[in-house]
Chain A
Amino acid sequence: MKTYDVAIAGGGVVGCAVAWYLAHFSLDVLLLEKREDVCCGVSKANTGILHSRSYVTPGTLKGELHLRSLSWFSQAFQELGLKPLRCGALTLAFSKEEAQHLKVLQEQGKIEGASILSPKEVLALEPRLNPKVYAGYFDPETMVISPFAVTIALAECAALNGVTMHFEKEVVFVEASWDHLLIHCASGERYAAKFFVNCAGIGAPQLAQNIGDVIPPLCFFRGQYFVLDRECQGFVSHVLYPVPTEESKGILVSPTPEGNILLGPNFEPVSYENTATTIQGLEEVEKGARKLVPEIPLDKVIATFSGVRPALPKRDFYVAFSLRLPSVLHLAGIESPGLTACFGIAEYVGELLGKRGLPLREKKNFQSRVPPLVFRECSLEERERLIAEDPDWGKIVCRCEEVTLAEVKRALRSSPPARTLDGLKRRTRVFAGRCQGGFCGMHLPGILERECGLSSSDIRKSGPGSFYVLRKGEVAPDAKVC
């Protein structure tokens, strides 16, 4: 059995960031993910906002790692081939008391170009804002990015630089065996590694417990969202925050790099990882969004979704070595700003492992990720050239987002590959447009069977049991009903 230098459990944004960071060094790294793809848990459903220094929580580990991460941004985005939307943010106060908080944010951030604005100035920047606004804090540092794009880019860049990834491998137990660790998966496989990093997200406390460590149990705070049609692009042009509370940053209105507008999240405790949307929750989001932008076009909603914040009681990140096995590191409670802080978390994990003896020798041949071409973003000349090279660039499979067959095929071949319809959606934006799969959802299964060599039973939305269609007489695989 091969002994890896480091094994990571969890292919969310944290696990993938750790893998990407460690791929900079001459190490054998293994990533084990319970699900069929990366970015299937908490990482897939959040605002995608890269919070600025004003939103650093002082005196906490999450604040420290958030700050560290910010200094990584330019290098990371260049290596990962990512282009965040550099839109800046406005935090809006609706009373004198709230306005006091804007000063705190400005003081906290000390960001060049940031300023506290009068209602007139705020409305000049965002004319559709609630005219009752009392004051606003403009922060040019805030950016927005697709949370899928970050996690997938981290995974692709890690894989490109030699990280091994195995999917549908849930780590259930780790034990010491002579000079290394033996990692047991639910499916029976075992792997050997010198170090183990528990980035299992919602599953992290249970895994820690199986190893004999104690992490306080997670609390779950659900947040629900609306996604508006791309047609609304430009309706607002900054991230619009209310004044934050102790609990959360509040219900915000935000543009996205893809041109949609995102509304949410609310903040509601739930007893488990419950990602259902509710009538009450969505009404709350609507109310919150209307407080900031009264005329927000809620008739242009194309999707609703919810995500959970896996929080620890202290509302701070937990990063600590196991008390049982000194080469096992646990991470838990990585809630907001986990996406923003991911590079800082990864670097911190690397340092901690280094202190325990992991040799961190930088590779000379680290390769940056070349982002896949996106038909919709290409000029007519580029498109013409692409089609001449490969006619699949001329076959549109998703009319709303103008995704071509070539992009779908590339996503199926990429490493790690899309293995589900959700995986395809997160890589190419099929199913993500205004018809939400009404058009591509009817053509894709046939195309995947005929042109990509899949069989209908391979076509799943997400995990086992999530079959998309059946052939006549076929029994639903792993289905709970029927």
Chain B
Amino acid sequence: MPKFVEAEVVVIGGGPAGMAAALSAWEYGMRKIFLLERNAHLGGILNQCIHPGFGLHIFGEELTGPEYAERYMEALGRTGVEVLTDTTVLEVHKDRAVVAVNRGGIWIFHPQAVVFAMGCRERTRGMIRLPGTRPAGIFTAGCAQYLVNVEGYLPGKRVVILGSGDIGLIMARRLTLEGVKVEAVVEIRPTLSGLLRNYVQCLQDFHIPLLLSHTVFEVLGQERVEGVLVGEVDAKGKPKGRLRHIPCDTLLLSVGLIPEVELLKRAGIPLCSSSGGPFVDEDFACDVPGFFACGNVVAVFDLVDYVTRSAERVGKRISEGLRDEKPPLILVPGKGVAAIVPQRIRERREGFLYVRPKESLRKAKLSLVQQGRELYHVSVPLCRPGEMIHLEISQIPWPKERKEVEVVLEGEKHVDLFSGALYCMSSGMSD
């Protein structure tokens, strides 16, 4: 028979969000807390992020991913949080039953609160309908990152990276340091997807070409990738001009991340179409009482610091138990805004509002509008889709009225300066 376990809190996922959520619950007095992690170690994606740049906001210093994770692992070690690794959650039910499996058998937890902290997964070749053959040598950037940094493999010797997301940029540098030739990073949009600092530190410093408004039109090779056909795209994404053949044995895809929400779907948690994750309030409570979600399962955050900060908010609320909730104020993304987190505001006193711009703008104005009336605005000198804007919730004069509040971003269109400047091709390329 499966084993039944009573618990106060079950946290699903032992990455930065899950670790911080478990710690936060402990801090607020919860004592029967289970942290379930499907891999052999806590840390999640941090374990494969061996580059620096983590923790600037939280610790005021630049840490590597494993160093950042270690701080939380150590803190967890000082608590009574029960950590189960190599444990995969199979389903979460509406009554908060969590069914998990590990080498010890099947476990059914019955907690008062479930915290979803499964993070996100990478968009795949199929999702972008990348045409061509289906040989070995096509990896998502994060998969390649794990293979290189944790397992000590190389994905190949000559690489093209499609998409300018952060993991792709980081991997361009990482593979170059391993002696792999990175031919180019190809981005279909006219702007960079990842952080500007990653462009400078990972591509510019290593003379790796970035081809904006370009994409891969065909994968070549029967058994292993033998090359890709790359060309420029027009505003509609159609090919423009001649295609070029770039010989390579590997294609990495860094074409976006999506919250890993399969368990939430089965549990019947309402999801937001713009963020891809569940609707949450400023304490990262879902629309269904007793369920919480934090970190990248809610929306893909730019920095791990934001992920941690989101998770740190759940403990207090969990400690207050199931209570009668006042109906919240509802926030919706308006013009110029791709996604917002949270989408509900209840207490209006603490926490942050994160706003992801749809496109690059300069001299922009971020405003909160209710029924055509502006409640609040801030000016944003420059914003890019790769970087979230965050506002302190306490700074905003929230209205008494519970009508929907729209978050709007307006400004002048901004074209990244390196759009043309970096259009240099390396010598390895042939027509």
Do these two chains interact?
A: yes
| A residues with CB within 8 A of B | 227, 231, 275-279, 281-282, 301-305, 380-381, 383-384, 387-388, 391-392, 394-396, 399, 402, 421, 434-439, 441-443, 445-446, 456, 460-472, 474, 476, 478-482
| Bound Cα distance A436, B127 (Å) | 10
Q: Are A391 and B103 in contact (CB under 8 A)?
A: yes
Query: What are 15 sample pairs from A and B whose C-beta atoms fall under 8 A apart?
Result: A276-B219, A278-B131, A302-B127, A387-B101, A387-B106, A391-B103, A395-B86, A395-B102, A402-B88, A442-B143, A470-B154, A471-B152, A472-B178, A476-B157, A481-B158
A-B residue pairs, 4 tightest by C-beta: A461-B136, A391-B103, A466-B223, A469-B153
Q: Is the CB of B156 within 8 A of A476?
A: yes
Q: Is B227 an interface residue (CB 8 A)?
A: yes
Does A465 contact B1, Cβ atoms closer than 8 Å?
Answer: no
Contacts of B103 in A (CB 8 A): 387, 391-392, 394-395
A277 vs B178: C-alpha distance when bound (angstroms): 33
B362 at interface, CB cutoff 8 A: no
Contacts of B217 in A (CB 8 A): 279
Given A380-B2, A387-B104, A456-B153; A482-B265 close (CB under 8 Å): no
B146 to chain A, nearest CB (A): 4
Binary contact track B191-223/A, C-beta < 8 Å → 1, others 0: 000000000000000000000000001110111
A470–B156 CB distance below 8 A = yes
Contact call B134/A275, Cβ cutoff below 8 A: yes
Query: Do B2 and A472 have beta carbons less than 8 Å apart?
Result: no
B165: interface (CB < 8 Å): no
The listed residue (B218, B247, B262) touching A276 by CB distance below 8 A is: B218
Q: Which of A388, A443, A481 contacts B226 (CB 8 A)?
A: A481
Residue pair B227, A438 in contact (C-beta under 8 Å):
no
- Bound Cα distance from A421 to B138, whole angstroms: 13
Give CA–CA (A383, B86) in the complex, Å: 16
From B129, B150, B219, B224, give the contact of A480 (CB < 8 A). Answer: B224
The CA-CA distance from A383 to B99 in the complex, in Å, is 12
Which of A302, A399, A446, A471 is in CB contact (< 8 Å) with B124? A302
- CB distance A470 to B106 under 8 Å? no
Report the Cα distance A17→B340, complex, angstroms.
56
Q: How far is the CA of A438 from the CA of B122 in the complex (A)?
A: 7
**B422 sits at the interface (CB 8 A):** no
Nearest to B90 among chain A residues (CB) is A402
Contact assessment for B90 and A301 in the assembled complex, using a CB-CB cutoff below 8 Å: no
B74 within 8 A of A: no
- Nearest opposing residue in chain A for B86, CB measure: A395
User: How far is A387 from B3 in the complex, measured between Cα atoms in Å?
Assistant: 13
- Given contacts A463-B223, A469-B155, whether A227 and B126 have CB atoms under 8 Å apart is yes
CA distance A444 to B423 in the complex (A): 38
Q: Is the CB of B143 within 8 A of A472?
A: no
Does B318 belong to the interface (CB within 8 Å)? no
Which A residues are CB-close (under 8 A) to B178?
Answer: 472
Nearest-Cβ distance from residue A259 to partner chain B, whole angstroms: 13
* Given A387-B101, A394-B103, A396-B38, A304 contacting B224 (CB threshold 8 A): no
- The answer to whether A435 touches B223, judged by C-beta atoms less than 8 angstroms apart, is no
Instruction: Pick the residue among A304, A464, A470 that contacts B223 (CB under 8 A).
Output: A464
Task: Note all chain B residues with C-beta closer than 8 A to A276.
Answer: 131-133, 218-219
Is A384 touching B131 in the complex (CB atoms < 8 A)?
no
Q: B248, A481: Cβ atoms under 8 Å?
A: yes
Report chain A residues within 8 Å CB of B129.
277, 279, 282, 301, 304
Contact A461 to B147, CB < 8 A, known contacts A384-B2, A466-B223, A476-B156: no
Please pick, from B1, B133, B152, B157, the residue contacting A275 in the complex, using a CB distance under 8 A.
B133
A461 and B135 within 8 A (CB): yes
**Contact between A439 and B227, CB atoms less than 8 A apart:** no
A468 to B, closest residue via Cβ: B136
Known contacts A439-B121, A469-B155, A479-B249: A387-B143 contact under CB 8 Å? no
Interface contacts beyond A387-B105, A474-B154, A478-B223: sample of 14 additional A-B pairs, CB < 8 Å, sorted by A: A302-B127, A383-B106, A384-B1, A387-B104, A391-B104, A395-B102, A396-B38, A438-B124, A439-B121, A456-B153, A465-B224, A466-B223, A470-B153, A476-B156
